[in-house]
C-alpha cells in the first residue's frame, strides 16, 4: 500500500496559492485536457493557462502527455489527485471494515439460530424453542456485506485505474 501522506513544501504552497491553478487542477481531475480545452473552459488567455500549467508541472501536481506529434494533454499526477481527494483510502477502509463486520455478525446470528433450534435443554412439552429473528438478522447482515465489499473493491479498482 502506498503512503497517502503528501509533503507540502514551498513549491506546492506556491502552486496552490493561485485560484487559477486550483481551478486548472480541478478541471484536470475529471479528464485529461489540452491547453486549448482549458482556455475554452476557464475563459482565460492561452498565455495565462500555459504559465499556470508550467508552475503545476514544475511542482509535480500535473504532468504533460504527448499524444501524437501535435497534441499535448495535461493530467494530474498521483500527488495532485491525493491533494484533491485526501480521504479516498479512508472510505475504502471503512467500507471493507463494514463488510467484514456485517459478514461476521451474520455468521454469529446464524450460529445463534442453529443453536436455538437445537437446544441442549428442551422446554416444557418437549418442543425446542428457536428464535427466527437470529436467522433473519443473520441473512440481512450477510447480504449487507456483499454491497459493502463490492463498493470497496470498485473504489479501489477506480483508484488503481486513475494511477495509470
Q: In the predicted model, what is the mean pLDDT of the chain? A: 79
Rounded to 5 degrees, what angle do the CA atoms 29, 5, 94 make?
A: 80
Tell whether 158 and 115 lie within a shared domain. yes
Confidence of residue 10 (pLDDT cuts 50, 70, 90): confident
Whole-angstrom Cα distance, residue 156 to residue 56? 26
Containing structural domain, residue 41 = 10-76
pLDDT tens digits, 85-130: 777 677 777 778 888 888 888 888 888 888 777 766 655 555 555 6
Whole-angstrom Cα distance, residue 20 to residue 118? 69
CATH number of the CATH domain containing 33: 1.10.10.10
pLDDT tens digits, 16-35: 888 888 889 888 888 888 88
Tell whether 65 and 28 lie within a shared domain. yes
Model confidence pTM above 0.85? no
Nearest Cα neighbor of 60 from 19, 3, 17, 7 is 7
| Total domain count, the chain | 2
Tell whether 93 and 144 lie within a shared domain. yes
CB atoms within 10 A of CB 144: 17
pLDDT tens digits, 154-164: 877 766 665 55
Tell whether 55 and 98 lie within a shared domain. no
Whole-angstrom Cα distance, residue 56 to residue 70? 21
Amino acid at each position: 500500500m502506498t503512503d497517502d501522506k503528501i509533503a507540502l513544501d514551498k513549491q506546492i504552497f506556491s502552486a496552490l496559492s493561485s485560484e487559477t491553478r486550483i481551478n486548472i487542477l480541478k478541471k484536470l481531475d475529471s479528464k485529461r485536457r489540452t491547453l486549448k480545452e482549458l482556455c475554452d473552459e476557464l475563459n482565460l488567455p492561452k498565455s495565462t493557462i500555459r504559465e499556470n500549467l508550467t508552475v503545476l508541472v514544475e511542482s509535480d501536481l500535473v504532468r504533460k502527455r504527448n499524444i501524437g506529434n501535435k497534441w499535448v494533454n495535461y493530467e494530474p499526477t498521483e500527488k495532485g489527485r491525493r491533494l484533491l481527494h485526501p480521504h479516498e483510502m479512508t472510505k475504502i477502509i471503512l467500507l471493507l471494515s463494514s463488510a467484514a463486520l456485517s459478514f461476521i455478525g451474520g455468521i454469529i446470528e446464524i450460529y445463534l439460530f442453529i443453536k436455538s433450534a437445537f437446544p441442549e435443554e428442551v422446554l416444557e412439552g418437549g418442543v425446542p424453542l428457536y428464535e427466527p429473528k437470529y436467522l433473519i438478522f443473520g441473512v440481512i447482515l450477510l447480504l449487507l456485506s456483499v454491497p459493502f465489499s463490492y463498493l470497496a473493491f470498485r473504489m479501489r479498482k477506480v483508484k488503481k485505474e486513475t494511477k495509470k
